[in-house]
């Protein structure tokens, strides 16, 4: 390989490494807490950082959207544990939001602080087209 070929390859490798580091840091993955077995995590542009617990991983055939709720400023970038909504939560959220055909409410995200639970957001999904 020529001297220029090696330089181009080095720039390419450094660029890819820099991009992956940016995604990792911007998504907050370096602050993610330990996850329960079978859980998976997602970080949304809306600010929700979700650890999905006891939910099937359907990322291959569905698109996920995180919808943040109003929370104290210090809880905005915290990782939350997301589980299936109760019937009461689902009816309350779905009556306030028109999610459209094919969409569904998959999870409600919560942060536990001392003895208080803060509901910080919801995760919806739609089929990938």
- DSSP, collapsed to helix, strand or coil, labels residue 126 as strand
Same structural domain, 59 and 86: yes
Interval 13-23: pLDDT, tens: 999 999 998 88
Interval 9-62: pLDDT, tens: 999 999 999 999 888 887 777 788 898 999 999 989 888 999 999 999 999 999
Q: How far apart are CA 89 and CA 11, in angstroms?
A: 50
Q: How far apart are CA 12 and CA 15, in angstroms?
A: 5
Same structural domain, 17 and 39: no
Q: Which domain holds residue 95?
A: 34-127
Same structural domain, 9 and 55: no
* Mean pLDDT value across residues 51-74: 92
Same structural domain, 50 and 79: yes
Nearest to 85 by CA among 116, 53, 47: 53
- How many structural domains is the chain composed of? 2
Same structural domain, 65 and 24: no
Same structural domain, 46 and 91: yes
* Beta strand pairing call for 104-113 and 79-83: antiparallel
* 3-class SS letters over 20-53: HHHHHHHCCHHHCCCCCCCCEEEECCCCCEEEEC
């Amino acid at each position: 390989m020529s001297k220029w070929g090696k330089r181009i390859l080095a720039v390419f490798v450094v660029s890819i490494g820099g991009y992956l580091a940016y995604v990792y840091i911007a998504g907050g993955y370096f602050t993610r807490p330990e996850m329960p077995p079978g859980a998976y995590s997602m970080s949304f542009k809306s600010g929700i950082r979700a650890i999905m617990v006891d939910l099937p991983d359907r990322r291959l055939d569905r698109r996920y959207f995180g919808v943040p709720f109003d929370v104290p400023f210090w809880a905005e970038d915290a990782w939350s544990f997301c589980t299936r909504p109760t019937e009461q939560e689902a009816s309350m959220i779905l009556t306030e939001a028109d999610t459209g055909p094919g969409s569904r409410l998959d999870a409600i995200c919560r942060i536990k602080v001392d003895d208080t639970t803060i509901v910080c957001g919801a995760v919806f999904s739609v089929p990938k087209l």
